[in-house]
Structure 1
């Protein structure tokens, strides 16, 4: 049955189940029609009795006990669409941080592509978002240790090496403009320059322009032959933000990406990747949607660097160069025409190291 408020009330083994839109759950009262149904006995023989108000709707947790009957809330919002594919989304789970001025965070999931996002971050003010990022990033920027990502320096060294090998193989042109979008304190750029003689320009909206840091007005659509973005996509909340990064790539250029991509995002508040500043969690399906929407044709993945490079050029040419490069590469580059969905297993379980120099599927 459905009330005049849009509440859906049904009986199940546990008692009365109430389904209400998230945006209404803090205001709704039972009207007389709802009260009559609420007083009806449940299959277990219990009754909600005189419920007075639906005080349980004010709860941000999913359950509330009332007269030995469970009120269960399936949180949904028909206006909350997926930023990746515009599919319907629904509440997935919550996690409480109590750190960096962040309390309970609600994670929602796309019913179509599986993309998971933090609705809490999505609805956060810009001031609160800036403060959260500042508090989190100042714990490690300028130093060598990051407790939230203990192998970041090792990974960045591997990424710089991978870029140098791709340049030597003719897959990236070091004579053209490269930029690291969201570079932070520029560790990757510095490693490229110091260890491999590569010029990787820096851009971060939170860093002042100058000394290889570009200004916002320099970030022009199609202005760079190679754009790389590492540990950035998981900090964004809107499709136009991801589109904006990719739009910097020239028509014949390549795009580098490091972020966690899973076959399915675990419904697990203890998952290591649920960190305070992380608000977007990509599935293979969601990332493949971006890959296709942006017009890329083939992709490679370097295991040691945890790095994708996407190409719009002829996939046969890319595959041939990768095959040759893998004869001497320090870590194998895996190739696929289309999006290479390397992470098919549960992301909570370490993936075995690939010992083959080529992967074709």
Structure 2
């Protein structure tokens, strides 16, 4: 039979698909169906109401917990497929990593506000030097964890919980003692915290109860130090969550991104260079602080509005990069920056793009995930590109 080039499914399914789209959802008799390890083929067979078994390797279930059986739904029944007026559709591409890069170039921060993630895409089609499936652990949540939910009510809840817990989380990061300060948490654990799941809950002996109890044990010392003794109000019900204060929301997100960036840069330099020089690395920032930044700093250093104002910070970072023997090739422009005295807006922009790309590539090679980069918070409390 003739094969369909787009999905590699027999084109004899096309009439069946047209019938199903016309509301025929009956299951035909005397059909064998198929066994496949391709989710796309499985989705098409499910759509045309034909038997299909999706084969997955056993290792795929090692870190998954199956909570209940659910009925799949068709994306076309829930998504608006036509492009919004005045907005062009996302360009089509045949590579999955390219499509994901296009979709994640920006992420929403509220009502029509966006922040710059990275103009220089990272090739994630290859395994980074640190290896595949490296556990992603963090001392503080990533800004995308708060900014990315597309549900307004959910995003409002996450910001509200973070604003209530912010002081304790900052204390834990900068002033806590012992294991509770340095314990790294997974993305899922931070997601649970932002959802307010910080008290022991769930059925006795269940995995959910064990996870929530461990989070409470880790965070309670910091909560107590900041005067948060009663945790019975968590999670806050949606009807009790106040509306978003957009100015405050953007301030919190900028602060979270800036803290992430500063700590990540120190850790990256230590891993890449093999040297311990955190005090020297802090000279790259607008101020040497790692916590308690003033919002006026959101227009200084790497986030300064004018390129010439950002140049000293870029040169400082480029100087440290010369000691990074990371697997990705370091551009000669970084090595040649030292000692150069004449800089135009064009040459500064070129250095900035090169430093940004090398920074994000190096971070991915050594940690297997995307780096958080600086943002600028304008006087109107709107975000704009920091570099």
TM value normalised by structure 2: 0.27
Q: Of Structure 1 and Structure 2, which has the larger fraction of its residues in strand?
A: 1
Query: Quick one: higher RCO (CA 8 Å, sep 6+), 1 or 2?
Result: 2
